Amino acid sequence: MSDGLTHLNSSGEANMVDVTGRDITVREAIASGRVILSPHVVALLRDGTTPKGDVLSTARIAGIMAAKKTSELIPLCHPIAINKILVELWINDSGVEIRSKVITSDRTGVEMEALTAVGVAGLTIIDMVKALDPSAEITEIHVDSKSGGKNGDWKRE
């Protein structure tokens, strides 16, 4: 392949990349996303009066748990030793902002783990408020930055 990626074998079938020869380095990824909610649900979140309990704490824990399960969910992701997972959530006038930071000392990066944390935290928010706001939506999930590894550092413009 011209881009040097090895996710396909010689028959064109999906293949897990062999990272055996890569150096173990500190790698970090930050991802973010948003959950858009009705003004009514935003008010309930701010007041802490949602019927299903503490939405943000539950979403934070779900995001942390999900990051640790990424290799079980995404077929070609490697199981890696995660050293740190941080999931932060902020209420704003349109809903909830989510940010995750994942750090490892391993042979491959943690972008997928950071994205998975954001996605599952967002899904958890929706699960906890869907009866109040069936139009709730997750949007703008993306990697903001990554560092470490053979490809070096990258930051979203």
CB atoms near residue 35 (< 10 Å): 28
Cα three-residue angle 141-146-148, rounded to 5 degrees = 155
**pLDDT tens digits for 24-63?**
999 999 999 999 999 999 999 999 999 999 999 999 999 9
Confidence of residue 6 (pLDDT cuts 50, 70, 90): low
Query: Shortest CA distance to 56 belongs to which of 46, 68, 70?
Result: 46
pTM: 0.92
Residue tagged active-site, from 3, 127, 133, 144: 127
CA of residue 73 relative to chain centroid, distance: 12
Catalytic-residue membership of 127: yes
Average pLDDT, the chain: 93
**Stronger pLDDT, 12 or 59, i.e. the higher one:** 59
